Structure 1
């Protein structure tokens, strides 16, 4: 029997150095795309997929991420007294049911694999999703919901994948693939940031995963990989052949909001689709393009 997916881990301990000085005093994940912070997009996508429990892997200076999902009594009381119903409604997505959000500190920046290992008590013996808030996927059906559909079909591990230029394979975790039906691909191997000439394909993992708790057995060894860090890709690779492992060509457009150009592109893409902003954004863009 395939165990239902109800948990998600969101690694948010990074320093956000590419966005300094904006991230000097605020977490990168609180940077807004239009009027919602990156962390909100990730939580909303997870909720759409039926996920009910969330674990933030934080670091020093990241407490505002936890505060964001708390009740803001003073603000809400003031808005209510002033009859600001639209503003109150805008706050509602930032609410999370009591007891369903936990935070764990990653005390040293030892890589994504180490961050996931820090969530071992939260994960327990359950399957879980991983969402990297730097990646926003604009789609009719959320990327994680698509992964859950595939997971319910295949069981095991399912990762979201997309094709990248061959010369950029050294930036990503790359799949060595077997059977391929055009949507789901069998994963035969994983290589972290291979040189383009050595890359087994150009199918890259993006920041969306559904994994079984077996991965924690390998992460617990805290073995260092590329960059001297504990790599999640290395631990996942050791599961191949022991549990079903597939890559899903998801439907939608991914924006890399950990990159300045990608972040700006996301602002435009999401604002153009807004009924209250689309026309004016298209109009002012004509001045610059």
Structure 2
């Protein structure tokens, strides 16, 4: 019987240098997409998938991230007295129950695999999810929930995957597909950031994973890989060698790379237009901007 996935690791130790100077004083994960920080989108997705324990792998300077999930009694009392029930309800979604969230420090920036490995002592012999908050996914059914449903049928290890242009494959971990079964593919191998022209497919891994506990054992033994870092991709590749039990999952939805400025702006437009309270005014503004640019040309 497969164990349910109830724990998730959130690697949030990065410095966010692409967003300097904003990230000089605030963690990148607190930057807001419309009116919610990136980390809130990740937490909401995890909750929808049945995650009950949240493990944050952080670094120095991330105290604002911890404060965000703490209680704010003075603010809550103020909103309650003023009858602002809608804002009070929104605020409560940011609160975490005592013991539901844990923080682990990654003292050296040694890659995603190392960040996941840092959380090993908070996991017993059970499957776990990994969510990268930079990847924000707009979907009718949250991405991780889709993956959990597929995992309950297949087991093994599962990575979220999407098609990327051939000239972009060098920026991703790429799947070497063994069998294409539609929404799910079985995997022969994974290649981390292949050189141009060498990618085995254009099916790229993005920031959602469901992993067996054996992956932690592989991370224990792995030396540095691409970029001088300990790559999670390499540990998953060992699972393919040992058990032939790795699957790529083509999720239904649109992924935004909010680790880049262009991706963050694209996500802001998409999520803004999806909001009923903002759509009309925002659409009018964007239409005016495009019309003005067209006239100027």
Q: Same fold (TM over 0.5)?
A: yes
Could you tell me the TM-score, scaled by structure 1's length?
0.98
How far the C-alpha of 1:196 sits from its partner, in A, is 2.6
In structure 1, the residue matched to 2:66 is 66
What is the DSSP-based 3-state SS (H/G/I as helix, E as strand, rest coil) of the residue aligned with 1:265?
helix
Cα distance in 2 for residues equivalent to 1:17 and 1:206: 20
Count of aligned pairs: 289
How far the C-alpha of 1:93 sits from its partner, in A, is 1.1
- Any conservation in 2 of the 1:114–1:222 contact (CA below 8 Å)? no
Deviations 1:36-79 (A, max 9, x none): 00000000000000110000000001011111111011111222
In structure 2, the residue matched to 1:144 is 144
Deviations 1:176-215 (A, max 9, x none): 1111122110011010000131111111000000001100
- Any conservation in 1 of the 2:5–2:51 contact (CA below 8 Å)? yes
Cα distance in 2 for residues equivalent to 1:207 and 1:288: 33
Cα distance in 1 for residues equivalent to 2:255 and 2:185: 19
In structure 1, the residue matched to 2:274 is 273
Cα distance in 1 for residues equivalent to 2:161 and 2:285: 34
1:8 and 2:25 are equivalent in the alignment: no
Instruction: Write out the 4+ residue segments of structure 1 that deviate beyond 6 Å after TM superposition.
Output: none
What is the DSSP-based 3-state SS (H/G/I as helix, E as strand, rest coil) of the residue aligned with 1:269?
helix
Could you tell me the TM-score, scaled by structure 2's length?
0.95
Return 5+ residue gaps in structure 1 as ranges. Answer: none
In structure 1, the residue matched to 2:293 is none
What is the DSSP-based 3-state SS (H/G/I as helix, E as strand, rest coil) of the residue aligned with 1:109?
coil
Cα distance in 1 for residues equivalent to 2:80 and 2:107: 40
Bigger shift: 83-92 or 131-140? 83-92
In structure 2, the residue matched to 1:96 is 96
- Any conservation in 2 of the 1:215–1:235 contact (CA below 8 Å)? yes
- Any conservation in 2 of the 1:7–1:51 contact (CA below 8 Å)? yes
Cα distance in 2 for residues equivalent to 1:49 and 1:85: 27
Deviations 1:157-188 (A, max 9, x none): 01100011111111000001111122110011
Bigger shift: 73-82 or 177-186? 73-82
In structure 1, the residue matched to 2:198 is 198
In structure 1, the residue matched to 2:254 is 253
Cα distance in 2 for residues equivalent to 1:130 and 1:268: 26
- Any conservation in 2 of the 1:179–1:185 contact (CA below 8 Å)? yes
In structure 2, the residue matched to 1:130 is 130
- Any conservation in 2 of the 1:132–1:207 contact (CA below 8 Å)? yes
How far the C-alpha of 1:222 sits from its partner, in A, is 4.5
How far the C-alpha of 1:84 sits from its partner, in A, is 2.1
Cα distance in 2 for residues equivalent to 1:210 and 1:283: 41
In structure 2, the residue matched to 1:218 is 218
User: Which structure is higher in helix share?
Assistant: 2
Cα distance in 2 for residues equivalent to 1:132 and 1:233: 14
CA-based RMSD? 0.9
